[in-house]
Structure 1
């Protein structure tokens, strides 16, 4: 039977702690939303001539980067790849930052 030294046990504990911390941060603990705000999802029906840029611009706050808003829309709707086709009648989930008191 193999015996483990105290040094190996310390290493094992350190590795376990590092793994737990890594999982903690990867699951969203480090929330980059501004304080006093949360994300709500609204459903938008695509109309003729709409683009992700146009939809993002209509639903973003002044302090947001439109590229981040487009990324959030793509992620929420699992729109992968370089070429994204929208069609009239399609429904998109649009994450919107909303102040906790209810104003956008």
Structure 2
């Protein structure tokens, strides 16, 4: 299991503590593996972008109009976090539904 997020994100840290034997990838520091964002965009669509974040609010209208994958590559902090990759697929966020799906 791999958690993609930001090292400074409290939600990502909570997910990392709750899940056992996970790898954490700080996407601001290391970026995304090839194809991951594209797969996530296929699964989650526009929900991949956190439109309540300070980063989103600071973007220009032109940047907000970018496709989610391109926008997140430019501004990783705008991605809803965490993005969790398991053998079964991808999970987004740390909601009760995601925790149930992951057995937490």
Higher helix share: 2
Q: Greater relative contact order: 1 or 2 (C-alpha under 8 angstroms, separation 6 or more)?
A: 1
Which has the higher Rg, Structure 1 or Structure 2? Answer: 1
**TM-score, normalised to structure 2's length?**
0.28
